Chain A
Amino acid sequence: MTSIDNHGLTCLDGSDVAAVSLLLQSNAATIDSSLDAIADSLNAYNTRSWAVTTTNAAVTGSSTSNELVSGSFPPGFSLLAGSLSTQSFGMDSPPNFLAPILPTGWYLTGGIATFQATGAVTANSRRDLILYWTKTVSGQTVFEYSLNTVYESNTGGDALTVTGKFFADGISRYSLNLNFAHNNTGSTMQVNAGTKCWIAYIGTGVVV
């Protein structure tokens, strides 16, 4: 029998015409295997990981010193001028929306939030929406982050969207957090319910 190109299919030549049964069996098995591999790849593409979380309640600063509930900045993160703190939303490590270890590859992430002062608005004061991606390696936390900024024009509340693209190595545990920071010295700030944080798998980033 003669072999055909890439997938291991065979066909008869003049000397083995009687081997029809063997030919049909061999090709059927090869076609079955090839189609199964193609189906697996397409299913993997169609079932890529993604998740969205949202908050069901507003978060309001607990003091008059213009701070939200305190969180912790990633190591080395630059504190903004003034009295600022953050409230973390999103997906803590280990992620509870996917398998325990994120598949290796690149992920598109983002967050949206609306917010307003609970009392006096400090004109031209800043608000930051911060998206940061952390992992812990040998007790050390490493991170990447994206941010977006708006300065209050004393006209009421504001909204921000932030986005980033980050890499997971397929071994480490990662955390995705959406934080809010401000320096509205006139009153505390409220981040409204419906704040969202999301993540979606793009691809491996490895060319075969």
Chain B
Amino acid sequence: MTTCTPLFGLPVVEGSDRPCDIDQWSCDFASAVESQLDTLDGIVQRTATTVPMAKVISTVPVTFGNETTSGSTPNLSFDTVAVDTDNMFNSSFPEQIFFPTKGMYGMHLNVWATTTGGANQDAFGGSIKLFPGLSGSFSTSLNVAFNGTNFNATTGAIYLSLLGEWPVTVDGSYIVAGTFLFIQSTDTLTITRAEMGAFWMGDLS
């Protein structure tokens, strides 16, 4: 047997083949089909059951002061997992989300905070950043999503909501996501709750 199908290479019986060799052909054919079905199953498993996704929550209030200097901006630390389908969160690294599976990812951040009263035009903002590894620095980070607002002199609640997307590749090491906040005020600002998440949107070519 020297003939195979053009797309998947499935062996084909020819007129010159001996009938007594039919058992060999049948096993070669069945093995080739099995291999293609296994490949398709592997692709479909990533989409039909669940995609890689995570949502982690920070429930412990934390207070920040005036934090605008690069490298000293506070990172949020997360303590509760709402969903994690791909080992994207490790409580030993509570500030970060990992990406074991490459792909295009959507990433989101929501922050609830309260102010004790600063001045008009005081600023509050945050970003989701990607780092090349666990020890990535501010200078090597990449902004995926960013949002900022200002607040006034009265006490009150303030919120942020961010959404962005970015292709994540895995070349022997994880790309990790973390948060950075900035507060430009003489006031202190207490983060009462924060939610960060990521979800796989599609394959990278």
B160 to chain A, nearest CB (A): 6
Query: In the complex the two chains form, is B53's CB within 8 Å of A106's CB?
Result: yes
Distance between Cα atoms of A13 and B80 in the complex (Å):
56
Q: Which of A38, A126, A147 contacts B152 (CB 8 A)?
A: A126
* A45:B48 contact, CB within 8 angstroms: yes
Query: B116 near A: Cβ within 8 Å?
Result: no
| A207-B50 CB under 8 A given contacts A38-B40, A149-B149, A165-B199 | yes
Q: Across the interface, which residues of B come within 8 angstroms of A116, CB to CB?
A: none
Closest residue of chain B to A160 (Cβ to Cβ) is B161
> How far does the Cβ of A107 sit from chain B's closest Cβ, in whole Å?
10
Which B residues are in CB contact (< 8 Å) with A13?
Answer: 23
Closest chain A CB from B25 CB (angstroms): 9
Which residues 113-130 in B have Cβ within 8 Å of A in the complex? 120-121
Instruction: Contact check, B85 vs A205: say whether CB atoms are below 8 A apart.
Output: yes
Whether B47 and A45, one on each chain, are in contact in the complex, defined by CB atoms closer than 8 angstroms, is: yes
Question: Counting CB contacts under 8 A, is A94 at the interface?
Answer: no
- Count of B residues near A, CB < 8 Å? 54
Scan residues 40-99 of chain B and give those whose CB is less than 8 A from a CB of chain A.
40-41, 44-45, 47-51, 53, 55, 82-83, 85-86
Q: Could you tell me if B44 and A20 are in contact, using CB atoms closer than 8 angstroms?
A: no
Q: Residue A134 at the B interface, CB < 8 A?
A: no
Q: Which residue of A lies closest to B108 (CB)?
A: A163
Tell me the nearest residue of chain A to B85, going by C-beta.
Answer: A207
Q: Is B144 an interface residue (CB 8 A)?
A: no
* A4 engages B152 (CB within 8 Å): no
Residue B158 lies at the interface, judged by CB distance under 8 Å to chain A = yes
Chain A, 13-39, contact with B by CB distance < 8 Å: what is the 0/1 string?
110010010010001000100110010
Q: Is B20 an interface residue (CB 8 A)?
A: yes
Contact partners of A162 in chain B: CB under 8 A:
161
A59 CB-CB contact with B under 8 Å: no
- Whole-angstrom distance between the alpha carbons of A17 and B34 in the complex? 21
The reply to whether A7 and B37 form a contact with Cβ atoms under 8 Å apart is: yes
Q: Is the CB of B49 within 8 A of A204?
A: yes
What is the chain B residue whose CB lies nearest that of A42? B44
CA distance A208 to B47 in the complex (A): 11
User: Are A27 and B33 neighbours in the complex by a CB distance under 8 Å?
Assistant: yes
The reply on B154 being an interface residue by CB < 8 A is: yes
Q: Are B120 and A124 in contact (CB under 8 A)?
A: yes
Judged by a CB distance under 8 angstroms, whether B150 is at the interface is: yes
* B34 touches which of A9, A150, A167, A206 (Cβ 8 Å): A9
A17-B22, A17-B23, A164-B110 known; A6 vs B30 contact (CB < 8 Å): no
Quick check: is A11 within 8 A (CB to CB) of the other chain? Answer: yes
Q: List 27 A-B contacts (CB under 8 A).
A: A4-B27, A5-B38, A7-B37, A13-B23, A14-B23, A20-B22, A20-B26, A27-B30, A27-B33, A38-B37, A44-B48, A45-B44, A80-B156, A106-B55, A146-B110, A151-B149, A151-B152, A165-B55, A165-B197, A202-B53, A203-B51, A203-B53, A203-B85, A203-B199, A206-B49, A207-B86, A208-B49
**Which A residues have a C-beta under 8 Å from some C-beta of B?**
2, 4-7, 9-14, 17, 20, 23, 27, 31, 34-35, 38, 41-42, 44-45, 78, 80-81, 105-106, 108, 110, 123-126, 128, 131, 146-151, 153, 161-165, 167, 202-208
Contacts A106-B199, A151-B152 known; list 12 others, CB within 8 Å. A4-B27, A11-B28, A41-B48, A80-B156, A80-B157, A124-B120, A148-B160, A150-B149, A202-B53, A203-B85, A205-B85, A206-B49
